[in-house]
Amino acid sequence: MNTTVKVKQVRITGHELLEHPLLNKGTAFTQEERDMLGLNGMLPARVETLQEQVERALQTLRAQPDPLAGYVYLRSLMDINETLYYAVVSRDLYGILPLIYTPTVGAGCQQFSHLFRRPRGLFLSMADQDRLDEIFASPRLDAVRCIVVTDGERILGLGDQGTGGMGIPIGKLAIYTACGGIDPATTLPIMLDTGTNNPERLADPLYLGERHERARGAAYDDFIEAFVRAVNKRWPNVLLQWEDFHKNNATRLLEKYRDRLCTFNDDVQGTASIAAGALLAAVRQIGASLTEQRIAILGGGSAGIGIAELIKRTMMQEGLTEAEARRRFYVVGSRGLVTEQTTGLEPFQQAWAQDSAQLGAWTLDRPGPAMLLDVVRNVRPTVLVGVSGQSGAFPEAVIREMARHCERPIVFPLSNPTSCVEALPSDIVEWTEGRAIVATGSPFEPFDYRGTRHYFAQCNNSYIFPGVGLGVIAVGACRISDEMFIAASRAVAELSPAMHEPGGKLLPDLADMRQVSRHVALAVAHQARAEGAMPTMTDRQIAEAIDATQWQPVYQPYALA
């Protein structure tokens, strides 16, 4: 990691310096710096260390009455002193990640207009379409290397939050820095405000976004095209992550632009990658093969199809043909099992439709489409994945039916926030008499059942995207492929404690995310090299580049430029 402390040249002084979150040290400015930078009289007399500031901040954080208050406090700290903010987050990643991202960020997005204090990033409306070059030209954006962009239409399992969706890019980039070590000075959150169809937002007198229904069709596509062109012109080598776009836009925009930008969609590929990583660890834990699994997925949106696609590709790496692998997946949507007779399928869903002729031999609860319980009863899946956004969508009858035919059911209720989880992991353990291997999207505490402690791995995308970003940025990769995400999945699975400890956790501790991200970054960079997607580098050069890229939350000594 890059721990070299260099003298930083600064050009601003006094109050302006204290108002700059990337440069402000607060009470940690030395007396020499206070003399040089015009800060005398502006700060309390005592000069503190960063660690002393961290202790005070943690005391304040722990005194907050609820998670949303903690989220608000941390956002305020980020806007005042980013080095201190990341030092605090790094001190307790396990405890603080749920505050700065899922599940608390969902409430932050819902309350965004009411909690708004200080702008961060860029808010771009369709009225800005012809002045994007002008907006992007600001010298303060010269250092940008990583962008997270949303249009706020599908925030977690909460739906359309309009401009409040900006909480997601801000939170994602905080994780890029806290877990991956991406320099916060090089990150940029962007909100594309194309309106909202959320009646609560439109009726809210304090709502800060565009007050009209969402743009659709050509107008929307033209805006996205103008945005991509302007980004490509301003930052031709930038990493751009699409985040929380509606299923009808997420996959098609990814396919449209993945060869024009170094880009990926975290809901499609990041979610799929950590789900695949957790699944690889789970099947190894029980001594099975990935290619033997039968997988039912509840939720046929971009996340569910993304998971199916990446696991299919991983199965193909392990010897199956594409047709053989595809037959092992059963996607269940809101209207039942997806077949060729299901109407209204998007192009990205059509390839996953099962042949309805096979249902003739099935036993169904009632006439009509096969629902989840029917699928479980007839297919006898070994893996059940939930990305439906529907609380309770894995009822007791479904889990018990699965457990009747599977000695070690693998059940992943991945919807978040917590209010949207398909089933409580403790219930899944009880309904399977302690035999299930469970991973979730939101954090859950361990559960004791009949003398055994069950740990629930959080399939948090934070295991994947910070390392992917770190690897891509460090080696200058020009694109991001699905195979790079498979490499990331395998890298995470390699670190599973369950591989070495009976009953161990399925995924590494969140507190070890810096080390996990480095391991993922190495795997992604090696895959990029194999694909010819980066400059020629040796293994040693790749490792050195990654270590040099990882930013650390420490104060640098200042000199007046």
pLDDT in tens, 285-310: 999 999 999 999 999 998 999 999 99
384 with 500, same domain? no
243 assigned to a ligand binding site? yes
Give the residue-averaged pLDDT of 115-134: 97
Mean pLDDT of 177-195: 98
Q: Does 3 have pLDDT greater than 60?
A: no
Which tokens belong to 558? 């200042």
20 assigned to some structural domain? no
Q: Final residue of a domain: which of 459, 479, 508?
A: 459
Q: Are residues 116 and 235 in the same domain?
A: yes
List the domain range (segments joined by +) for residue 447: 269-459
460 in a labelled binding site = yes
pTM: 0.94
CATH number at residue 114: 3.40.50.10380
Mean pLDDT of 57-83: 98
* Across 157-176, average pLDDT: 96
Structure-token pair, residue 502? 């009976």
What's the rounded Cα separation, in Å, for the pair 260 and 309?
22
What is the overall mean pLDDT for the chain?
Answer: 95
pLDDT higher than 70, residue 416: yes
Assess if residue 18 is contained within a domain.
no
The verdict on 455 and 472 lying in the same domain is no
pLDDT the model gives residue 54: 98
Under the banding of pLDDT at 50, 70 and 90, the label for residue 367 is: confident
Beta bridge partners of 439: 457
Whether 154 has a binding-site annotation, put simply, is: yes
Binding residue per annotation — 461? no
What does the pLDDT read at residue 361? 86
In the chain, the amino acid numbered 81 is N
- φ/ψ (deg, to 5) at 56: -65, -45
Whether residue 1 has pLDDT greater than 60 = no
- Lowest model confidence (mean pLDDT) among 43-47, 301-305, 500-504: 500-504
Annotated binding-site residue? 249:
no
With respect to residue 44, please indicate whether it lies within any of the assigned structural domains. Answer: no
Burial class (CB in 10 A: 0-12, 13-18, 19+), 395: middle
Evaluate whether residue 255 is within a structural domain: no
Last residue of a domain, one of 459, 475, 496: 459
pLDDT band for position 434 (cuts 50, 70, 90): very high
Query: Does 209 share its domain with 357?
Result: no
Is 263 inside a domain boundary?
no
Do 389 and 293 sit in the same domain of this protein? Answer: yes
Catalytic residues, by residue number, are 101, 172
Domain match, 56 and 194 both: yes
Per-residue model confidence (pLDDT) at position 417: 84
Token pair for residue 142? 């010269």
- Residue 494 pLDDT > 70: yes
Q: Please, is 547 exposed, middle or buried when counting C-beta atoms within 10 Å of its C-beta (0-12, 13-18, 19+)?
A: middle
Same domain membership, residue 101 and residue 234: yes
- 81 labelled as ligand-binding? no
Percent of the chain at pLDDT above 70? 99
- Please give the pLDDT value at position 522: 98
Cα gap 167→160, rounded to integer Å: 13
Looking at the fold, whether 369 and 506 belong to one and the same domain comes out as no
Per the DSSP assignment, residues forming a β-bridge with 331 are: 297
**What does the alpha-carbon distance between residue 493 and residue 467 come to, in Å, rounded to a whole number?**
14
pLDDT tens by residue, 464-483: 999 999 999 999 999 999 99
Q: Could you tell me if 438 and 471 lie in one domain?
A: no
Look-up: residue for tokens 């009822």? 395
441 shares a domain with 411: yes
Residue 86 in any domain: the answer is: yes
The answer to whether residues 478 and 455 belong to one domain is: no
Residue 4 banded pLDDT, cuts 50, 70, 90: low
- Count of domains for the chain: 3
Is pLDDT of 422 > 80? yes
Calculate helix-pair angle for 93-100, 82-91, nearest 10 degrees. 120
| Confidence (pLDDT) at 510 | 85
How many other C-beta atoms are found inside a 10 Å radius of the C-beta of residue 135? Answer: 14
Q: Phi and psi at residue 251, in whole multiples of 5°?
A: -70, -40
Let me know if residue 54 belongs to a domain.
yes
Q: What is the CATH number of the domain that holds 311?
A: 3.40.50.720
pLDDT of residue 93: 92
Report yes or no: 267 and 303 within 8 Å, Cβ to Cβ.
Answer: yes
Structure tokens at 322: 């594409």
Residue that is last in its domain, among 426, 459, 492: 459
Same domain? 453 vs 490: no
pLDDT of 488 reads: 98
Gap between the Cα atoms of 561 and 547, Å rounded: 28
Residue type, position 540, single letter? R
